[in-house]
Structure 1
């Protein structure tokens, strides 16, 4: 079974890091009309006609050129321009979360890794202005993949590991097996999702799963099995998916991040999803993949 989140990483580009400082190669590719460019204003891009808008180099505005790599024989760049451009026309420029529907289709999903790469770097460049060691201004190099200050301190893009898990209880595969989903108070009625949280310093991923589940819903987890992962530059995360096997089932929500958490059998999940009283995560998220992995197939409805 191919899971929904895998569509966004099925055909990654070659990042060709060896060319990030090759000025002659970069100039040659920029002069090629077949090269594709994504214009990013701050951390937003502007879709056109229901699709991600890649332009030729001649159409791209001035800005920081970021080499993304090669894909299907062509070079891909992002040009990062001032955030004021998107602020002046907010309705036309969209952050990454709003772009996910544009990336869900089979054809559009082919460029999703390029979009994630571009917006992940744009977010890092947008928020990383001063050296954390000496507070001097930072300047880009290596085609936007490094920042350096006047004192020679180099900064690199960071990715924060986050765990996301479906918690199960009961004999695996049995009719009585249940999974645990939670909801936040700000979500519309009926919306539930898997639990998630960030890994803390000095913590293994498995222990992060156990801690987050205990903190959010009061359930103690024993065995933790790795499922898969998904880049999630919102703003700079790598979502690492797990199946967590519960040792206790009493639920006590923290009433901070989680308003309510419920156990569902497969029959209950199917019935409520069909009725629309249970609304499950979106189709391209690893959260959706975890739910369908546990359920054993596709389910109706999504955020």
Structure 2
């Protein structure tokens, strides 16, 4: 079974990292009408008729050019323009709002390019000054490096590792095996997901899984097995998925991040998802993949 989070990364573009400093090559590809360009205003893009709009360089606005790479023999770029006028009411959406535009057979091929573009734009939007001396930063290497005009120190895009896990208890595959899902305090009633959290400095990924589950629900986890990963530039995360086996059952939510957490059997999960009393994450997320992998197939409904 192929999961949606895998489809979004199934056809990655060649990022052409060695071409980022090749000004002659960049000029030639920008002059090529076959090259494709996505405008990103601030850190948002604007779909048209439910699809991202890629134009030729001749039709692209002025702005900071980012080389995304090559796909199907064409060069793909993003142009980052001023973000003050990027309003939701005018159709400019952050990456989370663009996910429906990346969920058909054609757009799935563009998803790695869009994730690259929006992730880079968010980094550029948030990184204005050198953290060492406070000097101004100047873009280099087709937007993938920022160099301080005062001390010369370079800054590069950062990705924060985050763990996301399905926690289970009971005999694997048995009818009474259960899966632990939680509801964030900011979410509406009935919306549940797998637990997640950021890895701390000096911490292994497996220990991060155990710590986050214990902090959020009070459940003690033993065995932790890797499942897969998904880039999630909202704004700058790499989601690392795991299966975790619980050693305790009692739930004590932290009442800060997590408002509620419950154990579900497969039958309970199916029945409540069908009834709408359990609303699971969208199909493109690794959380959905983790849950459906444990369940054994597709489930109805989504955020």
TM-score interval, normalised by the smaller of the two chains: over 0.9
Alignment of structure 1 residues 85-96 onto 2, 5 Å: 85-87=85-87, 90-96=89-95
- CA–CA distance in structure 2, aligned partners of residues 200 and 237 of structure 1: 13
- CA–CA distance in structure 2, aligned partners of residues 185 and 31 of structure 1: 50
Residues 70-102 of structure 1 deviation map (CA, whole Å, 9 limit, x = unaligned): 001100000011112314x74321110000011
Runs of 4 or more above 3 Å deviation: none
- Give the RMSD, CA atoms, in angstroms: 0.9
Give 5+ residue unaligned stretches, structure 2: none
Three-state SS of the structure 1 residue aligned to 2:52 is coil
Aligned position for 2:279: 279
Give 5+ residue unaligned stretches, structure 1: none
- CA–CA distance in structure 2, aligned partners of residues 187 and 127 of structure 1: 26
Decide whether the 8 Å contact of 1:7 with 1:106 is kept in 2: no
Three-state SS of the structure 1 residue aligned to 2:106 is helix
Alignment of structure 1 residues 233-248 onto 2, 5 Å: 233-248=233-248
Aligned position for 1:116: 115
Aligned position for 1:7: 7
Structure 1 148/90 Cα, relative in aligned 2: closer, same or farther at 3 Å?
farther
Q: How many residues align?
A: 302
Alignment of structure 1 residues 92-107 onto 2, 5 Å: 92-107=91-106
- CA–CA distance in structure 2, aligned partners of residues 148 and 121 of structure 1: 15
Following superposition, the deviation at residue 186 of structure 1 comes to 2.5
Decide whether the 8 Å contact of 2:230 with 2:286 is kept in 1: yes
Following superposition, the deviation at residue 300 of structure 1 comes to 0.7
Decide whether the 8 Å contact of 2:5 with 2:230 is kept in 1: yes
Aligned position for 2:133: 134
Three-state SS of the structure 1 residue aligned to 2:216 is helix
Find out whether 1:72 has 2:72 as its counterpart: yes
Three-state SS of the structure 1 residue aligned to 2:112 is helix
Three-state SS of the structure 2 residue aligned to 1:214 is helix
TM-score (norm 1): 0.98
Alignment of structure 1 residues 124-163 onto 2, 5 Å: 124-150=123-149, 151-163=151-163
Following superposition, the deviation at residue 7 of structure 1 comes to 1.3
Alignment of structure 1 residues 1-303 onto 2, 5 Å: 1-87=1-87, 90-150=89-149, 151-303=151-303
TM-score (norm 2): 0.98
Following superposition, the deviation at residue 107 of structure 1 comes to 1.1
- CA–CA distance in structure 2, aligned partners of residues 13 and 4 of structure 1: 18
Residues 245-287 of structure 1 deviation map (CA, whole Å, 9 limit, x = unaligned): 0000100000000000000000111111111111111000000
Three-state SS of the structure 2 residue aligned to 1:101 is helix
Decide whether the 8 Å contact of 1:171 with 1:177 is kept in 2: yes
Residues 79-129 of structure 1 deviation map (CA, whole Å, 9 limit, x = unaligned): 011112314x74321110000011011111110000000010000000101
